[in-house]
Amino acid sequence: MQMYPLKFKPIFKQRIWGGQKLREVFGKDLTLGAKIGESWELADLPEDKSVIINGELSGTPINKALIKYPEEITGDAGFEYHFPLLIKILDAQDVLSVQVHPDEQTCDEMGKGDPKTECWYIIDAEPDAVIYKGLKEGVTKEQFREAIVSGTTATLLNKIEVRPGECHFLPAGTLHAIGAGLLIAEIQLPSDTTYRVFDWNRVDENGRGRELHLDESMESINFDQDASKLKATTTGRLVDCEYFTVDKGHQTAGCEKLLQRGQMQVVMIISGNGEFIKEGQNNVSFSSGDTILIPAAYQGVMVFREETKYLAIQTTDYYV
């Protein structure tokens, strides 16, 4: 078959810190009043697999499409893996817990979990919105352990004000938390391994706090991290790591972008709309909030009907 840009049905996740921004900003079909914190735009995890919603492959889960058309989609005829990224949009109406994801070495040493490196692109931010990224310079493992016991973990975190258009890279081992009032595009490895180390001393109606994973967190946190490598990026190539790259695109109305065959990529539309056009095929429209997988075998033109901002994401040869 002739490959074409693939669109997917979002997988919505209710979270206590979520809201309705995904409906208000992107028109996503949420249940009114539900606290939706995450829209999994492209996922291939054991319990959650994105389903294609357009064209000849409509109704096909991403894993089955990859099995049937590995070379056409990925560019690798011998591809026998899950899709190597998990792509989300997050709506944080309240601050999230402080957490960390392990790297490959830590997973091997502990004999469990999957590594996760990720990045956050700030789509929208309320005034004075912040994230927490990494530890303050000089904080030792012993100091951090004492802060956990005393409930003062927050005093040791780097608190960073953020603005729309910024991208924050979070390599595995980075202690982090998303603050309230943020709409974020998250690109990450396909792992759901998360170790919670601090939840702002919150308790439920019965006076119980959420489960923490202190031993795993202490093993996973990179206490020797170079904070200078965690600075935000705003233009051009936003992320260039061993697992994926993220480039920021900005096109005015009426512009066209030629898409050459050869490498699979994912495009997240932050704002604007347009179409993918190829002679002999039906046009595939796109608009703000869409995440589209462009197969390696596809060659066409991306036409921008209005000013459009987007993220172009490519994987490396890292597969799980």
CA atoms of 260 and 257, how far apart (whole Å): 10
Residues 299, 186 share a domain: no
Residues 222, 305 share a domain: no
Catalytic residues: 196
pLDDT at residue 169, rounded to an integer: 97
> What amino acid occupies position 130?
V
CA distances from 157 to 23, 96, 128, 138, 302 (A): 32, 14, 17, 11, 42
pTM score of the predicted model? 0.95
Residues 152, 76 share a domain: yes
DSSP readout, 178-222?
A: E-SSEEEEEEE-S----EEEE-TT---TTSPPPP--HHHHHHH--
What is the domain range of residue 310?
A: 244-315
> pLDDT tens per residue, the chain (320 residues)?
899 999 999 999 999 999 999 999 999 999 999 999 999 999 999 999 999 999 999 999 999 999 999 999 999 998 988 999 999 999 999 999 999 999 999 999 999 999 999 999 999 999 999 999 999 999 999 999 999 888 889 899 999 999 999 999 999 999 999 999 999 999 999 998 999 999 888 877 777 878 889 999 999 999 999 877 789 999 999 999 999 999 999 999 999 999 999 989 999 999 999 999 999 999 999 999 999 999 999 999 999 999 999 999 999 866 55
For residue 215, being part of any structural domain is answered with: yes
pLDDT at residue 4, rounded to an integer: 98
For residue 236, being part of any structural domain is answered with: no
CA atoms of 175 and 171, how far apart (whole Å): 9
Boundary of a domain, candidates 231, 262, 295: 231
Write phi, then psi, for 57 (nearest 5 degrees).
Answer: -90, 10
pLDDT at residue 211, rounded to an integer: 86
pLDDT at residue 318, rounded to an integer: 61
pLDDT at residue 67, rounded to an integer: 96
pLDDT at residue 319, rounded to an integer: 59
Residues 259, 215 share a domain: no
Residues 55, 18 share a domain: yes
pLDDT at residue 56, rounded to an integer: 97
